[in-house]
Chain A
C-alpha cells in the first residue's frame, strides 16, 4: 500500500509539471503521459479504438493498480483529452465495451452503462465548449439518431470537422430514410477521410 502510494506520488511529481510550450511539439516530444494521450488520439483517428484504450490504460497503470485517469493524467487539459479518447472509443467500438475492467472513473462495465458514461463525458465537454464543432460532432455521434440535427447544422455551415462526422451524418440520414443524403455524406466522408475511417457504408443507428 505504501509502495503504491509512493509510486502514485512520484507519478504526480513527474507528470504534473510539464514543459512550458511555445510550440505544441514540445509536449509531443516528451516521453510522458502527454505522448501516451497523443498516441491514443492518433490511434483513435485511425480507427483503432482498441489500441487507443489499451495505450491509455497502460499509461494510467490501470489495471492492476486501479489508478484512475484523475491520478495518471493529473493536468486537467490532458485528463480531458484522455477522457475524450476513452469516450469516443466506447462510442466507436462495436458493442460499446472496450473497457473490460471498468471505466476510467470506475463505473460498471456493462456495454449500455459504458455508452451512457461516454455520452456523459462528451455532454460535459459540450457544455464547456458548445461552439466547438469538434465537440458538437463527437457529442452528436455519441447520441446516434438524436444527434443528426446537430450534424446537419454543422454540414450546412461547412463546419464538419472530419470524416467521422460525415460518417455519423450518413448514418443519421440513413436512419431517416434519406438514401440520397446518406450517399452525399459518404461521398464527403471519402473525400476527407484519413486511413482508418470507413466511408463505404453508414453504420446502423439504434
Chain B
C-alpha cells in the first residue's frame, strides 16, 4: 500500500472536515462585480489565484515543511504571514483553514507533534496560517515536499472549481473539464517558485486579491470568503 498516496487522498477528499469548501478564494466577489462572467475570464481568474498561491504561499509551505521540528521558526513564519496577509478576507480564510486543518489532523493522526502545535493554537501563541500549518503537517506525515506543493496548488484550483459549481455558474462536468485543463499548469507554477524564500514571497496578480478583499461587502453571500 502506498501510504503517502492514501494520506494525500484522505486529506484532499471533500469528506476531510476542514471547512475548506466554505471559501471561494474571491470567486463569489468576482462574479458579483462582473469581472468573471465567461468561461475565458473564469479560467484566467483561476490561473491568477493559482499563480498567487505559488508565489505567495508556497514559500511558506516550503519553509514550514523544513522547520516542522522548530517551534520558534514556525511561530516566526506564522507571524510573518500575518504581517503580509493584510487582506482581511484572505487572512481570515487562512487562519480558519489553518486552525481547522490542525485541529482535525490532531484527532485523526497519531503524531504527537500535531497535538503540540494544536496546543499553541489553543493558547493563542500562533495564528495558525494555512500555508504554514500545511507545510508543517505535510512534513509530519512524511509526504514529499513536491507532493505537498502539488496538494496545495491543486487545493486552490479544486476549491475555486467547486465554488463555481455550487454558485451555479458552471455545470459539474464542464467544471471538471476545466479543472483538468488547468491542472496541467500546476507543476509549472511549482517549478517557478521552488527556490523562492518567504522574504521574496509576493502577489503576482493583484486584481484577484483586491476582488477577494471586497467579499464582506456583498449583501448576500454563499461563502465565508
Partners in one complex: no
